[in-house]
């Protein structure tokens, strides 16, 4: 099962958190600090400067001045594959990679205020992007998360409570929840095995829609432990790890939970407050923070115990985005400083414990990473100088 979780909670939270006052007003102050990073603020303001762009402007613009491509485009380097302007002056922030290097990217356009925009989807066929029509009858707000178990089974959830599904070449509404809550995550295990998650106060301070499972015929809600999930990562249909949300002394706190043997169980994390988890094969990693420290901590589950994993001091925070599997026992992380003058990074931890740091040019905001299924190749979605950009790593 190669599609796990693609979620935009940090980016979406940051859109709202344009100031400390705004963060308090939307309830974001109750979130762990690393959830409300500055990355989304920077790219959202840049995206607003591109408002008014139309579909005719979407042709690739080619490499920008100052954006250096690796000299050797081999298996171990990042390459700029395409730069383009998104239809309707929109912004894309969620990436799902498909077999053979195809991909979907999701976001929003036309917003006047946070969460008032229309959902947006574009498709990458390996050489060019094209706009894909989403159902006009449903106002989903921005796409919060997306996933797929194959090229023919792609799903996406909008913040405002709709679940979209690709049927052939056409997007349809699989379920529309109209209770005023929000969705924040998804895990797609198969055509008849889909989980969607909605947690309270993340990313917009609104109530979550809870946890729902689709078995191919109907939707069933999960109550109790597992009922308030922010995001999840699935190693298999019977092995799912998730970040839950619970009220603790009148403040929302995150915790780790595990779905196995048909039920959700809470998992102890010591003093670490978790905010993302990655399950890949038999390996599980967790990112979080300790106390009020803004520093991100990476730990790996080993023989039933969490062990810290030392990360390189690369001058950037690596906890703003959930990690993804590298397909061979390791992981990828995005490193960002929140400063457009400081390059974003892609940090790779090999299965043997070796770190490699790849630097992108100044002004490049690396938004999401997605591994190409059944390979070790990775796609990266970025925003640079008024354009979206797609990077590729490996032999994709």
Q: Within 13 A of 90's CA, how many CA atoms are on the CB side?
A: 25
Residue 343: pLDDT band by 50, 70, 90 thresholds? Answer: confident
Residue 76: pLDDT band by 50, 70, 90 thresholds? Answer: low
CA distance 109 to 65: 27
Question: Comparing C-alpha atoms, which of 127, 155, 129, 123 is closest to residue 140?
Answer: 155
Q: What is the value of pTM for the model shown? A: 0.81
In angstroms, what CA-CA distances link 391 with 49, 70, 178, 192? 23, 11, 37, 32
What pLDDT score was predicted for residue 396?
A: 56
Q: What's the residue count for the chain?
A: 396
pLDDT tens-digit readout, 344-379: 899 999 999 999 999 888 888 999 999 999 999 999
What pLDDT score was predicted for residue 315?
A: 65
Tokens for 258, please give them. Answer: 């595990």
pLDDT tens-digit readout, 234-258: 999 999 999 999 876 678 889 999 9
Lowest-confidence segment of 30-34, 113-117, 136-140, 179-183 by average pLDDT: 30-34
């Amino acid at each position: 099962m190669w599609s796990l979780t693609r979620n935009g909670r940090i980016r979406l939270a940051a859109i709202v958190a344009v100031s400390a006052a705004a963060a308090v007003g939307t309830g974001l102050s109750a979130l762990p600090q690393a959830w409300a990073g500055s990355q989304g603020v920077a790219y959202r303001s840049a995206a607003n400067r591109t408002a008014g762009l139309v579909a005719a402007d979407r042709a690739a613009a080619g490499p920008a001045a100052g954006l250096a491509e690796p000299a050797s485009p081999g298996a171990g380097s990042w390459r700029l594959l395409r730069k383009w302007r998104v239809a309707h002056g929109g912004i894309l922030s969620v990436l799902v990679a498909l077999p053979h290097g195809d991909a979907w990217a999701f976001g929003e356009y036309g917003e006047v205020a946070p969460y008032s925009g229309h959902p947006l989807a574009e498709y990458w066929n390996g050489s060019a992007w094209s706009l894909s029509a989403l159902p006009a009858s449903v106002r989903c707000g921005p796409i919060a998360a997306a996933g797929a178990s194959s090229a023919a089974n792609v799903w996406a959830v909008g913040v405002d409570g709709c679940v979209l599904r690709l049927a052939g070449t056409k997007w349809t509404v699989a379920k529309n929840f109209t209770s005023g809550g929000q969705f924040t995550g998804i895990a797609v295990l198969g055509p008849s095995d889909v989980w969607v998650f909605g947690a309270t106060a993340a990313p917009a301070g609104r109530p979550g829609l809870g946890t729902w499972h689709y078995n191919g015929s109907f939707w069933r809600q999960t109550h109790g432990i597992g009922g308030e999930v922010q995001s999840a990562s699935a190693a298999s249909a019977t092995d799912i790890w998730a970040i839950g949300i619970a009220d603790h002394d009148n403040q929302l706190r995150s915790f780790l939970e595990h779905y196995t043997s048909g039920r959700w169980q809470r998992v102890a994390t010591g003093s670490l407050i978790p905010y993302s988890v990655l399950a890949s094969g038999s390996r599980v990693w967790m990112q979080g923070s300790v106390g009020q420290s803004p520093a991100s901590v990476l730990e790996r589950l080993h023989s039933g115990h969490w062990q810290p994993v030392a990360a390189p001091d690369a001058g950037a925070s690596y906890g703003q985005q959930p990690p993804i599997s590298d397909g061979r026992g390791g992981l990828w992380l995005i490193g960002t400083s929140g400063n457009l003058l400081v390059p974003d990074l892609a940090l790779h931890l090999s299965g043997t414990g070796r770190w490699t740091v790849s630097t992108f040019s100044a002004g490049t905001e690396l938004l999401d990473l997605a591994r190409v299924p059944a390979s070790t190749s990775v796609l990266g979605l970025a925003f640079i100088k008024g354009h979206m950009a797609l990077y590729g790593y490996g032999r994709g």
